[in-house]
């Protein structure tokens, strides 16, 4: 059964209303990874990464926690051999 914490984000709309949900996308990616659901893991990883990077770029608010999460997401999408 596919479970999602948040509805799919329509990127054509303003992205700002979805920013508070970014941690939920990260959490859903982690849960999907634990379940072994690769497709959902990658989908939520891409969404979380997109939103975390948008927040950093648009608002220039950098936190070590967010930078660490961005690094985790990048590593998941582009694993090094």
Tens-level pLDDT at each residue, the chain (81 residues): 344 444 444 444 455 556 678 889 999 999 999 999 999 999 999 999 998 888 888 778 778 888 899 999 999 999 887
pLDDT at 28: 94
pLDDT at 53: 87
> Is 28:5 a contact under the CB 8 Å cutoff?
yes
> Is 9:47 a contact under the CB 8 Å cutoff?
yes
Q: What's the pTM?
A: 0.71
Task: List, in order, residues 6 or more apart from 47 with CB less than 8 Å away.
Answer: 9, 25
CA of residue 15 relative to chain centroid, distance: 13
């Amino acid at each position: 059964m596919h479970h999602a914490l948040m509805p799919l984000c329509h990127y054509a709309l303003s992205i700002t209303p979805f920013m508070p949900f970014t941690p939920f996308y990260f959490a859903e990616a982690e849960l999907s990874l634990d379940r072994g659901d690769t497709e959902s893991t990658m989908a939520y990883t891409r969404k979380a990464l997109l939103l975390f990077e948008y927040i950093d770029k648009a608002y220039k608010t950098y936190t070590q926690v967010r930078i660490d999460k961005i690094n985790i997401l990048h590593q998941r999408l582009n694993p090094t051999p």
